[in-house]
Chain A
Amino acid sequence: MLDFSFCHINEIMMRRRSLRKELLAAEGLKDLRVAVLGGSTTNELVNFLELLLLSSGFRPAFYQSEYGRFYEDAVQDSQELIDFTPDLVYIHTSCRNVRLAPPIGCTEAQFNESVGRELGTFLEIWNSLERNIGCQVIQSNFETPPYAILGNMDAVAYGGLSRFLMQMNVAFAQEAAKRPKLIMQDVHGISARLGVQNWFDWNRYWNYKLLLTAEANLEVARSLTSIVRAMYGKSRKVLVLDLDNTLWGGVIGDDGVERIQIGRETPVAEAYTAFQEYCLSLRNRGVLLAVCSKNTEGIAKLGFEHPSSILKLEDISCFKANWDPKHENIHEIASELNLGVDSFVFVDDNPAERAIVQAQLPQVAVPDVGSDVSRFAEIIERGRYFEPIALSKEDLERAALYADNSRRDAFKQTFANYGEYLDSLEMVAEIDHFKPWYLERIAQLTNKTNQFNLTTRRYTLAEMEAISSDPRYIALYGKLSDRFGDNGLISIVLGRRELDALHMDLWLMSCRVLKRDMEVAMLDAVVERSLSAGIRRILGYYVPTPKNGMVADFYPKLGFEPHVNENPELPERATVWKLDPANYKRKNQHIRVTEYANA
């Protein structure tokens, strides 16, 4: 089957019907009713869209307005459209559909009035669709006009069509931000990337009122498909990266960390740096990064300690460096992250590795990135794998978190002592037994926390589910919010009861809430529950890993006493600590603790 994100348009056009039949034969396709309201002829666009949606697991049925009747179909004569019961309405308009562009010599007031009136047409359309159908609406914004009558001033003067369309696009964006059911398709950006010279086809427009080139229609269809995938939760979530000659130049095992190419010293090093920056920007908007490299783990990790490395080890959610086949490692990454491989994109400069992963795991997206790092990002972008339709709550919180942390740091400087600072944060923690709706986050945090993690035990979602209803366990989660924001669920403590002892199988916390006394509040909760369960001793374990040195003296700091290692299964270097809950005094002074409230 063709990879529709990358294949040549001629291949699609010459084989469209046979490809369609092939794709229609697949099982488990999801029915999707798509209404296309066009300002120009949309058949070719719909043909492409049908193939692309089919290849994404949808079986689309289409309604197309008569040429140019997007307004009438939506507002005046909409019964046929209503009867079609679309899941999605796409309004495909262009600069040719603008009716009220202001005259060349117009004033600012006339300009604003024109924008308001033109926008009014679209408001009517969106309001009518919302009222009569209520489904998701995708609206294309405007490409740059084919001619700039005023030259460069066309983008400045109130009478310039370029200026007018820019303002319309801003107005569209403001409406889309306000309306949850309106999604903007950035045709302005799509057409710019293809080139406006390759966008309009005037021959076809005068002949058939078909405004765009076939190439442009294919790009519109590709972009629409990625939006639809995002609407149905099919956007990809994980970027799996090779290391040598992918994230840095050279082979770290042969060349040594001091000789790999990263930084600003050579053009090649700069290109790898730029690619790492691209990966980091994906991570910062919620895409998880994983490493899958044929390397010795200890040596591979040194690459991230290179002073010029943009990516740090903590940016990598799952790290696999060994000599096993990559598809096996990708399988393991998927189970550790608790995500399907159909949400993975694999990037490797080595065509042989790409080929084996693609063959063994066909659900993984494996773009042919070639071997030139300067093109990697552009090629990954063309696949439109990570399309969001909204920055999800989680994404936004993740992004906001970094902002919150910097505000907290600035705030900290104004206090005489640390306790006063902690009090001023007005922290509220929710600490309680595992709840079903948090289990996914609990499993995710358990499997990605490496630093503040006493035992680094990993548990699957199913295991956590079983534990949450097993009476032998004291299984607590902690959430923490403060005056600057909600940090979300950031700590997990798992105690397993045997007779009168509680074994702390797991104690971990996200580093985003370090030094906030959250661990003390968690201990208070563990002790309180231990006492009511008749537990006489709490046994804490520290199992050293290369990453968790920061918690080596966690238990003694909390008042635990050294204890002999009675468990032969524990590694030799592990330490064991004991606390008598009866002699424990509450330690938390700065956090108000609540239990889960069904508010």
Chain B
Amino acid sequence: MPNLTPDSVLAELQPIFQEALDNPALAVTRSSSASDTPSWDSVAHIEIIEMVERHFKVRFDLGELQDLKTVGDLVDLTIRKAQR
């Protein structure tokens, strides 16, 4: 995907988080994490990752997924994988 920027990726992540966490009004930020975002449990996490991978046509490695802590980490990882 061409021209991914941290802002554009974050914007494209919003509908995914809204769907997976069942909250149409939700707006995540780079610092959002599972611990401070309601409904972001392990089941929702599976759904988020699956949808992000499908949307950006990337596949994350096992180890990369383990290191994700915040939405910002996810944005950066997505850009890195998409540019490869």
Contacts and interface: CB of A to CB of B under 8 A. Distances in A.
A44 B47 contact: yes
Given A203-B62, A207-B62, A207-B65, A14 B51 contact: yes
Contact of A17 (B22, B59, B60, B62): B22
A422 B6 CA distance: 87
Contacts of A15: 19
A26 interface: no
B19 A17 contact: yes
A204 B51 contact: no
Interface of B: 15-16, 19, 22, 42-43, 46-47, 50-51, 54-55, 59-62, 65-66
Given A203-B62, A206-B62, A14 B46 contact: no
B22 A214 contact: no
Contacts of A207: 62, 65-66
A210 B19 contact: no
Nearest to B60: A203
Nearest to B16: A14
B22 A43 contact: no
A43 B62 contact: no
Interface string A1-33: 000000000100111110000000000000000
Interface string A33-60: 0000000010110000000000000000
Residue of A41, A206, A207 with most partner-chain B CB within 10 A: A207
Q: How many A residues are at the interface, by size bracket? A: 10 to 19
A13 B46 contact: no
A214 B42 contact: no
19 contacts: A10-B54, A13-B47, A13-B50, A13-B51, A14-B16, A14-B19, A15-B19, A17-B22, A44-B50, A203-B60, A203-B61, A203-B62, A203-B65, A204-B50, A207-B65, A207-B66, A208-B46, A210-B46, A214-B50
A391 B38 CA distance: 50
Contacts of B54: 10, 13
Contacts of A10: 54-55
B47 A208 contact: no
B19 to A, nearest CB: 6
Nearest to A210: B46
B19 A208 contact: no
A13 B49 CA distance: 12
Interface string A77-114: 00000000000000000000000000000000000000
A309 B42 CA distance: 58
B43 to A, nearest CB: 5
Interface string A180-219: 0000000000000000000000011011101000100000
